[in-house]
Amino acid sequence: MRQAQVTRNTLETQIGINLNLDGTGKSVLNSGIPFLDHMLDQITRHGMIDLEITAKGDLHIDAHHTVEDIGITLGQAFTQAVGDKKGLRRYGHAYVPLDEALSRVVIDLSGRPGLVFNVDFVRARIGDFDADLIHEFFQGFINHALVTLHIDNLSGKNAHHQAETIFKAFGRALRVAIEHDPGAVGIIPSTKGTL
């Protein structure tokens, strides 16, 4: 089983994550930020991974440190759980609509962190949540998961819909990338021989 348990403790946050890449889409999410929990649940359900997150952060200041550190810790857990990537598809992509909104996410388990984030939210806040923090979450994730990630919101007139299509598409793209490729058993999918 491709699993990991990671904790991250700083003066700003205390994060604990249990991750199972071969799960069934179950989640127990306690970030202290309800909208973030809702988005993380989209990753688990559409990625068919199991995820438990507990977080205590300096939310009396704002949500920035908590959101970023959850992304960092999830990236660290992903790196541990995915292992050497032998026999994996490596690449994944997904388009996901929600009413008027449509997003595309493409991922490469490249071993190199890279984020292209083309999203213009129609408003700065989604309820009490600062929409800019979505970028911070994914930046933290890619820096520690060592993946290349392209996120493009292609249309949308509702910021909640825009965000939800991004997280759903990310989950589905990730699900494809971490699948075992029956034609590449035991092979690292790179001409370099390593990822």
Q: In what order do the strands lie in the sheet with 101-108?
A: 91-98, 101-108, 148-155, 114-118
Tens digits of residue pLDDT in 1-54: 899 999 999 999 999 999 999 999 999 999 999 999 999 999 999 999 999 999
The pLDDT, as a whole number, for residue 172 is 98
CA 145-148-152 angle, to 5 degrees, is: 120
% of the chain surpassing 90 pLDDT: 93
Domain map of the chain by residue range? 3-177
Report the candidate in 145, 10, 132 with the shortest Cα–Cα distance to residue 71. 145
List pLDDT tens digits, range 144-175. Answer: 999 999 999 999 999 999 999 999 999 999 99
pLDDT tens sequence across 173-186: 999 999 999 988 88
Q: Give the per-residue pLDDT at 167.
A: 98
For residues 59 and 35, the answer to whether their CB atoms sit within 8 Å is no
Alpha helices in 116-192 (DSSP H): 132-145, 159-177
CATH 3.60.130.10 fits 3-177, yes or no: no
Average confidence score pLDDT of the chain: 97
Write out pLDDT tens, residues 80-123.
Answer: 999 999 999 999 999 999 999 999 999 999 999 999 999 999 99
Q: Which amino acid is present at 187?
A: I
**Which pLDDT belongs to residue 190?**
86
pLDDT band at 192 (very low <50, low <70, confident <90, very high): confident
Closest C-alpha among 107, 81, 101 to residue 162: 101
CA–CA separation, 45 and 72 (whole Å): 20
pTM: 0.96
pLDDT digit string (tens) for 114-123?
999 999 999 9
Sign of the dihedral defined by the CA atoms of residues 172, 178, 180, 184, in that order? positive
